[in-house]
Chain A
């Protein structure tokens, strides 16, 4: 425990926070400059649009997952959720069901998945990590079973607009991302419910004793996460125009890396939505830039894993130095 008097430790706390996000921004700018100079196609409009669309669907899921992680839980099943949503959407569109109805059904399914995850974690009391790893393979397996392993074409005017439409030349997913992000930011930083989430993350017992219904807070955050992943799945289906059961495979590592990069502690209680934004930007730029440089895919995977471990070690070492 810190033996210093309160003012100087507070000063150190604020300095610690500012430097973290500042470091991230600097890293981001350096990376963008590096890639712009080394690869001609990096700052072309086409690349920017495609990178932004990809970033948006990842960002929507990541923003809401940040809420879950601040509450102290993790949801690994987002990848399986995205795959199942995309397969169900393509399946229904193939049968000729109206685009709007498909969106509604997929969002309700996302809600149901969130309810199942939340029930397992809050009511049965399972560790959220293992619970969601288990449910992840259930959703993934259901997606494979539904399509028998094949991909289904998903072409529909409404769904297409979701991923590839533009509003004044800005891709529609970016607008959705901005809306979801803005709502998450407002909720977490400026609403009562957001403070409740931070409280349950820091110390669930103390939150419970203060009158916060911890079970309900966690349950609701899982529901939002399920719905956000469903929305992400719809956007991905529209971006790729197919419903594949493999959609979203391996996405968990990227998203959780981005969230942890952004400063959200793994135990919960600490974290900023803006930090997640910077984390998403950094990882997307890294992935996109390395792909533009024709780096072999598995090296990119190594790079992502290494960046995660490196940045989190930096945070932990800086935190330990305070004592």
Chain B
């Protein structure tokens, strides 16, 4: 089909070369950095406030919840699974912790934090058990869990759910020296710990193995079910943490919080290089993708783009991200 004549090759498939730039390198990181620089350039031309310190503080503070959630989802996706119930778990954790704090003699705050994290782990374990032991497709399972947990949020929520606990509010809102948010420190520490785990522990290598080829991993003696359950439990833990930070930043624990988080987190994780089938991906790419998506959301607001158009842009971004991922990772001989 492709002609040997170089001129007609350029004419016929001129779109292939730019696509190749983004999809043929082993890691997505260089192209992501290029995208980010181009994007910052575009936004700063159109809006005078983009390159300010205040704006960057705002970007990084708003990234917090998505960053924590995508840490968990990245682990699940590296092992080959899917977790669509992250928003519901985060919302539920927010609701429950707010209600625990609103009682007359509230438990000490560290205990509430531990309870919240345990709830997240519990939901993650439920997801993992249903997916491995009963064998339902992870997407359907987590869709079902999404609906059930979201329903439970509304079921248990009372009318007035404000948070007045100052320690809790400081978790998501404080800054160090007026320029570095606490939440950025959380994200950096979490990502570093998880990267070390993925690269240097047996569990991390097993995650990549299970994601790469599940049957071969089972034949190699890896406890595939256990690894999967653990990955969902870890995702649940980070959803709990994300729910804590979310309720802290928003100052309340309303049941509708976290709705629609799955879309953005999925975009971030896939754009960052974690392949959809699993087996590939690292946190550096996820972090850069996180910054890109956060900057785009922020830039759209600064450019006064109407809110509904922002939804379209986010959907288009997801489609773009997965298209790049598909072109990058599909096998050479994709005949069908």
CB distance from B3 to the nearest CB of A (A): 21
Interface pair B312/A145, CB less than 8 Å apart: yes
Bound-state CA distance A167–B92 (Å) is 48
Bound-state CA distance A245–B312 (Å) is 13
> Which of chain B's residues has its CB closest to A317's CB?
B134
Interface pair A204/B308, CB less than 8 Å apart: no
Q: A205-B336, A256-B140 are in contact. Are A130 and B311 (CB under 8 A)?
A: no
Known: A266-B137, A312-B136. 8 other contacts (CB 8 A): A126-B326, A130-B276, A142-B312, A266-B140, A305-B151, A308-B143, A313-B136, A316-B134
> Per-residue CB proximity of A286-323 to B under 8 Å, as 1/0?
00000000001011011011101100110011001000
Residues of A within 8 A of B312 (CB): 137-138, 141-142, 145
Bound-state CA distance A118–B322 (Å) is 14
Interface pair B315/A136, CB less than 8 Å apart: yes
Interface secondary structure of A, over-half rule: helix
Q: Is B188 at the interface (CB under 8 A from chain A)?
A: no
Q: Tally of A-B residue pairs with Cβ under 8 A?
A: 137
Bound-state CA distance A169–B287 (Å) is 61
Residues of A within 8 A of B313 (CB): 141
> Which of chain A's residues has its CB closest to B143's CB?
A253
Task: Indicate the size class of the contact surface on chain A.
Answer: 35 or more
> Which of chain B's residues has its CB closest to A215's CB?
B336
Q: A124-B327, A135-B319 are in contact. Are A148 and B308 (CB under 8 A)?
A: yes
Residues of B within 8 A of A5 (CB): none
> Per-residue CB proximity of A237-259 to B under 8 Å, as 1/0?
00000000100000001001000
Q: Is A134 at the interface (CB under 8 A from chain B)?
A: yes
Q: Is B93 at the interface (CB under 8 A from chain A)?
A: no
Q: A145-B308, A148-B308 are in contact. Are A125 and B144 (CB under 8 A)?
A: no
Q: A127-B276, A137-B311, A298-B154 are in contact. Are A308 and B323 (CB under 8 A)?
A: no
Q: Is B250 at the interface (CB under 8 A from chain A)?
A: no
Q: Which chain A residues in 90-135 approach chain B with CB under 8 Å?
A: 120, 124-127, 129-131, 133-135
Interface pair B309/A302, CB less than 8 Å apart: no
Interface pair A316/B135, CB less than 8 Å apart: yes
Q: Is A174 at the interface (CB under 8 A from chain B)?
A: no
Interface pair A141/B315, CB less than 8 Å apart: yes
Q: Is B26 at the interface (CB under 8 A from chain A)?
A: no
Q: Is A185 at the interface (CB under 8 A from chain B)?
A: no
CB distance from B50 to the nearest CB of A (A): 23
> Which of chain B's residues has its CB closest to A116's CB?
B319
Partner of B151, one of A126, A127, A298: A298
CB distance from A86 to the nearest CB of B (A): 15
Interface pair A140/B263, CB less than 8 Å apart: no
Q: A138-B319, A142-B312 are in contact. Are A125 and B151 (CB under 8 A)?
A: no
CB distance from A113 to the nearest CB of B (A): 13
Q: Which chain B residues in 301-336 approach chain A with CB under 8 Å?
A: 306-316, 318-319, 322-323, 325-327, 330, 334-336
CB distance from B280 to the nearest CB of A (A): 14
> Which of chain A's residues has its CB closest to B150's CB?
A301
Interface pair B139/A129, CB less than 8 Å apart: yes
Interface pair B141/A127, CB less than 8 Å apart: no
Among B139, B146, B315, residue most surrounded by chain A Cβ atoms (within 10 Å): B315
Bound-state CA distance A215–B334 (Å) is 11
Q: Which chain B residues in 125-184 approach chain A with CB under 8 Å?
A: 130, 134-137, 139-141, 143-148, 150-152, 154-155
Q: Is A234 at the interface (CB under 8 A from chain B)?
A: no
Bound-state CA distance A256–B144 (Å) is 11
Bound-state CA distance A139–B146 (Å) is 22
Bound-state CA distance A260–B336 (Å) is 25
- Please, could you name 23 A-B residue pairs with CB atoms under 8 Å apart, sorted by A? A126-B322, A126-B323, A127-B276, A127-B326, A129-B139, A133-B263, A133-B318, A134-B315, A138-B316, A140-B311, A141-B308, A141-B311, A142-B312, A144-B311, A208-B335, A214-B336, A256-B143, A266-B140, A296-B155, A298-B151, A298-B155, A308-B143, A308-B147
Q: Is A182 at the interface (CB under 8 A from chain B)?
A: no
Q: Is A157 at the interface (CB under 8 A from chain B)?
A: no
CB distance from A266 to the nearest CB of B (A): 4
Bound-state CA distance A320–B144 (Å) is 21
> Which of chain B's residues has its CB closest to A301's CB?
B151
Bound-state CA distance A126–B314 (Å) is 17
Q: A149-B308, A298-B151 are in contact. Are A134 and B136 (CB under 8 A)?
A: no
Interface pair B146/A305, CB less than 8 Å apart: yes
CB distance from B173 to the nearest CB of A (A): 29
Residues of A within 8 A of B134 (CB): 313, 316-317
Residues of A within 8 A of B95 (CB): none
> Per-residue CB proximity of A150-173 to B under 8 Å, as 1/0?
000000000000000000000000
Interface pair A137/B318, CB less than 8 Å apart: yes
